[in-house]
Structure 1
Amino acid sequence: MKDNTVLHCIAGFLNAYDCKTLDEVDGALQELIEAATETQSQYRNGIAEQASSMHTVN
């Protein structure tokens, strides 16, 4: 992924979580890191479901 794409995805994620403070940003990013780590582990173990589209939060 290009750097701008990653930044836009992270910004969209934080916006969807309606982060207003740095503590809220820290918490949301920690959730993102944990989910990414779990997904990475599932892919390595061959048990992950491959996404067909990006989920959006309204």
Structure 2
Amino acid sequence: PFRQHLVALLSIYALGPSSAPFPKYDGPTNWETNSILRSLEEFSKRLFAAEHAL
């Protein structure tokens, strides 16, 4: 389930910040999934802020 969530999340990130609401992961978690999701959230914030600044 987590890989499917990542595929959906990355597809939405590729479309841009206003394309669709970001899906929330509600499957099984551990420290690895939590770390990946936190990192992706920070990465997306930086990415969209940089695009907005252009």
TM-score, normalised by the number of residues in structure 2? 0.47
Structure index of larger Rg: 1
Scaled by the length of structure 1, what TM-score is found? 0.45
Structure with more helix by fraction: 2
Higher RCO (CA-CA < 8 Å; seq separation 6+) = 2
